[in-house]
Chains A and B, each alone.
Chain A
Amino acid sequence: MTATARPAAVGGERIPTGKLAMWWFLASEIMTFGGLLGSFVLFRFAAGGWEDQAAHVNWRIAAVNTLILVTSSWSIVRAHHAVEEGDRLGAARGLLVTVVLGLTFLGIKAFEYRTELAHGFTPWSAPFWSFYYGLTGLHALHVLAGIVANAALCAVAFRGRGWERVGQRVEYAGLYWHFVDVVWIFLFPLVYLS
């Protein structure tokens, strides 16, 4: 047991500080995204006519992006598995796939934004579009942050130097990445399908 461990539940296993900190961070993120999603739902109930605006978003592209994000969750959990197995290069490959899929997600999202803006659907067009750009934009920023973290870990994993020190962080990066995936799992039907 390292010095960076804290007691967990009574009689339970000790939780590494990094993991505990990540879960605390995710708890704050639940409030951030949950507040926005709740506001979206309440505003939509309070003011009618949002369906006309929502009909203009491209659910097919968003479905492809959902598939990409779900697949990236698989690749990063494979990377975590590889860390547990002591397979550094396996972890590096898993992280690399996750980074590439994350960049693909952002590329598709950028294409989607460009198309919508070209059709005149700006953040100030209607309340729906304000929420649309706010929610998906904040999510995209989180994807970008995850890509940066995963890319940094991927570089260390390929290089090998310092891997013993940072290998465990793949689990923390994975927790964050899965959370971003879960947010999208709810964002997709909320914005594109309902």
Chain B
Amino acid sequence: MHAASRFPSYGAIWTWLVALLVVGLFCAYLPFGKALAIFLVFSVAAVKAFLVVRHYMHLRSEGVLIYAIAGLPLLLLIGFVLTLVPDIVFKR
């Protein structure tokens, strides 16, 4: 693999992460209402996590096996949480 493509600009990724941290803090205190603010804050967090996983953990250059190992527990987890949501919604 070409060295330049294997190693992205880690400094640039860090700058994005810091910028997104500031954006996330800004979103948390916007006068939009709680639900929208929470949605924006977690969207920003998801982008930050994506940047770390893709560029710092080098997931973009990994094969199917690593994706499967990391993805299956995530899917299971989402399934478990979603399974319990009706219990809370209908209890209310």
A: residues with CB less than 8 A from B are 8-9, 12-13, 15, 20, 23-24, 26-28, 30-31, 34-35, 38, 41-42, 45-46, 59, 63, 66-67, 70-71, 73-74, 77-78, 81, 84, 174-175, 178-179, 181-182, 185-186, 188-189, 193-194
Contact = CB atoms under 8 A, between A and B. Distances in A.
Interface in B14-48: 14, 17-18, 21, 24-25, 28, 38, 41-42, 44-45, 48
Dominant secondary structure at the A interface: helix
Given A46-B91, A186-B45, A178 B77 contact: no
B45 A38 contact: no
A175 B56 CA distance: 8
Nearest to B27: A193
B10 A23 contact: no
A25 B17 CA distance: 25
B4 interface: no
Band of interface residues on B = 35 or more
Contacts of A26: 69-70
Contacts of B25: 59, 63, 193
B69 A23 contact: yes
Contacts of A30: 70, 73-74, 77
Taking each of B49, B56, B66, B77, which has the highest tally of chain A beta carbons within 10 Å of its own beta carbon?
B56
A34 B76 CA distance: 10
A20 B52 CA distance: 19
